[in-house]
């Protein structure tokens, strides 16, 4: 860039000696601040331009060894003024098109020299403005590029953060159209972002009340209305695309512009199935403590107090009281043991030790052990075991517990004189064990619930004791062996539990949380 007061560096390319002299005269006469060099030909100009930089190049169109256009090729970033003879205006126009900053028509009297200083000044100032504009443009371009890169980085960071988040994120605009939908949101709703982008959120994000099962409005509406953050944590249930239900908690907050206008809502939500499960377990424990444990304890306490207060009680009553205390403490022990076993299995603390198990031997041992119980009720207990059954890869102790639970239940829930049979056969890639009885049966609506913890069919007319934990433990053990259990029953006729145990082991025991993925284990008739 040329400073106002410093000398302009000028190259004059002119083959006419008189014109050269006139130019020099002008400079000296006017005392112009020019640091000038004169080239008499194109080749001379080339050698000078090779090692010098000028502020302005003044070039005559017609030179001995070429034209001004040949000099154009040698000059890169310096403004050029072209001089032509009178009548050569057409050439001057061409020169302007080729990049000359200005042109001068030489007259006989060399009057054009009078305007030359002014033209040089204008050209330099023009060039200066152009350079500044170019610099400004370059800076702007760099700035735009930097901002674009920064935006792209921020966008990528946002997308990585959103996809890496453990919570679902949905953002909508003021018209409730979906603008953003992360991976977790996709998984929980069953919709892909591409499918729901710009669609109204209501049809996609369906929520029902846990208790009433009635559809409820998502908090987005409220936030758009009030501009306040809304929190949901009351057992709202998200209904996925395929009808799958999942309890969620959610927080919805307004998205505002700098001036405070609400332009949308962002909702963060998460699957709280596990927390709900824990809450349910807590409620179970409380109900257990308040009922299942308290009842035997109250009874033990009452009978013990009576015994203590009546030392002279007749022997027969004393024995009867002691028998009740014994029975109630057995009930307590069974309850506590069952509870401990179930919680050990559910926590994943119990690993099964897989060894070849002779299921026929296990069934025979269990049926021998329970024979006295069956005899007491005159129940015919029979076994029907297929020949040469393959060995099962499993945990013998746990398999025994399954057989014991099912057979003792069958005896327990079958009235005197009934029949209980255990049949084991070889299915395709699995062993199938059926425990059938001719007992009281289970009402159809109870069937899906009997594998739940503490669940006991309400039978006010019977005195049958139990903890409601046996079938829950059976189900867990069967699942640990990658098997499944089904139940068929008819009230007053009998019940059959069928256990399917695969012979090939190809998976590890799944964590209890994966139980949810299993379809209903109960088969109803």
Q: Which residues bind ligand ADP (CB under 6 A)?
A: 405, 409-410, 413, 437, 439-440, 442, 450, 455-457, 466-472, 495
Residue number with CB closer to ligand ADP (39 or 442): 442
> By C-alpha distance, which of 347, 350, 352 is closest to 481?
352
Strand partners, 54: none
Confirm if 224 and 171 have CB atoms less than 8 A apart.
no
How near is the Cβ of 419 to ligand ADP at its closest, in Å? Answer: 12
Residue number with CB closer to ligand ADP (189 or 405): 405
How near is the Cβ of 249 to ligand ADP at its closest, in Å? Answer: 32
How near is the Cβ of 494 to ligand ADP at its closest, in Å? Answer: 8
Distance CA 59, CA 12 (A): 6
Residue number with CB closer to ligand ADP (103 or 413): 413
Residue number with CB closer to ligand ADP (71 or 288): 288
How near is the Cβ of 363 to ligand ADP at its closest, in Å? Answer: 16
How near is the Cβ of 473 to ligand ADP at its closest, in Å? Answer: 8
Residue number with CB closer to ligand ADP (218 or 474): 474
Taking the CB of residue 116, how many other CB atoms lie within 10 A of it? 21
Residue number with CB closer to ligand ADP (188 or 288): 288
Residue number with CB closer to ligand ADP (252 or 440): 440
First CA to last CA across the chain, in angstroms?
A: 96
User: What is each CA distance from 113 to 26, 57, 92, 443, 488, in whole angstroms?
Assistant: 7, 15, 17, 119, 117
Confirm if 483 and 502 have CB atoms less than 8 A apart.
yes
User: What is each CA distance from 120 to 46, 80, 125, 338, in whole angstroms?
Assistant: 21, 9, 8, 105
Six-digit token pair at 13?
């390319």
Q: What is the DSSP letter of 456?
A: -
How near is the Cβ of 217 to ligand ADP at its closest, in Å? Answer: 40
Distance CA 381, CA 385 (A): 13
Six-digit token pair at 299?
């009874």
Strand partners, 267: 170, 252
CA 503 to chain centre: 37
How near is the Cβ of 179 to ligand ADP at its closest, in Å? Answer: 50
Residue number with CB closer to ligand ADP (264 or 441): 441
Place of tokens 């695309």: 241
> By C-alpha distance, which of 232, 212, 214 is closest to 222?
232
How near is the Cβ of 453 to ligand ADP at its closest, in Å? Answer: 8
């Amino acid at each position: 860039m040329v400073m106002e007061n410093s000398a302009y560096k000028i190259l004059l390319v002119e083959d006419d000696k008189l014109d050269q002299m006139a130019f020099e005269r002008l400079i000296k006469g006017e005392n112009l601040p020019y640091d000038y060099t004169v080239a008499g030909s194109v080749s001379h100009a080339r050698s000078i331009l090779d090692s010098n930089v000028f502020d302005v190049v003044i070039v005559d169109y017609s030179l001995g060894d070429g034209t001004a256009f040949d000099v154009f090729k040698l000059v890169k970033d310096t403004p050029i003024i072209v001089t032509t003879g009178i009548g050569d205006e057409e050439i001057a126009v061409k020169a302007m098109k080729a990049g000359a900053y200005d042109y001068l028509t030489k007259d006989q009297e060399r009057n054009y020299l009078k305007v030359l200083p002014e033209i040089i000044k204008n050209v330099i100032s023009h060039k200066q403005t152009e350079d500044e504009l170019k610099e400004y443009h370059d800076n702007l371009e760099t700035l735009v590029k930097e901002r674009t890169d920064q935006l792209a980085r921020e966008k990528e960071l946002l997308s990585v953060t959103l996809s890496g988040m453990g919570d679902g994120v949905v953002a909508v605009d003021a018209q409730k159209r979906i603008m953003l939908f992360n991976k977790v949101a996709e998984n929980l709703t069953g919709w892909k972002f591409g499918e729901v982008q710009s669609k109204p959120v209501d049809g996609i994000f369906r929520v029902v009340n846990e208790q009433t099962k009635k559809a409820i409005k998502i908090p987005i509406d409220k936030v758009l209305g009030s501009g306040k953050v809304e929190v949901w944590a009351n057992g709202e249930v998200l209904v996925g695309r395929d009808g799958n239900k999942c309890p969620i908690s959610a927080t919805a907050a307004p998205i505002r512009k700098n001036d405070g206008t609400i332009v949308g809502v962002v909702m963060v939500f998460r699957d709280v199935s596990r927390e709900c499960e824990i809450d349910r377990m807590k409620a179970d424990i409380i109900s257990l403590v308040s009922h299942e444990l308290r009842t035997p304890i109250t009874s033990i306490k009452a009978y013990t107090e009576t015994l203590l207060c009546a030392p002279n009680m007749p022997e027969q009553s004393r024995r009867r009281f002691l028998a009740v205390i014994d029975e109630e403490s057995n009930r307590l022990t069974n309850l506590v043991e069952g509870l401990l076993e179930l919680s050990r299995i559910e926590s994943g603390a119990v690993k099964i030790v897989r060894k070849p198990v002779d299921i026929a031997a296990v069934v025979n041992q269990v049926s021998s052990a329970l024979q006295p119980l069956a005899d007491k009720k005159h129940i015919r207990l029979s076994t029907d075991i297929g020949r040469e059954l393959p060995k099962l890869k499993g945990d013998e102790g746990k398999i025994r517990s399954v057989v014991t639970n099912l057979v003792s239940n069958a005896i327990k829930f079958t009235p005197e004189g009934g029949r209980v049979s255990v049949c084991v056969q070889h299915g395709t890639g699995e062993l199938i064990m059926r425990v059938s009885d001719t007992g009281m049966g289970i009402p159809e609506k109870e069937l899906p619930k009997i594998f739940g913890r503490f669940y006991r069919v309400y039978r006010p007319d019977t005195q049958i004791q139990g903890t409601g934990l046996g079938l829950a433990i059976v189900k867990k053990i069967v699942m640990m062996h990658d098997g499944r259990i089904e139940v068929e029953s008819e009230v007053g006729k009998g019940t059959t539990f069928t256990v399917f145990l695969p012979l090939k082991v190809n998976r590890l025991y799944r964590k209890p949380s994966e139980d949810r993925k299993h379809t209903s284990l109960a088969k109803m008739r």
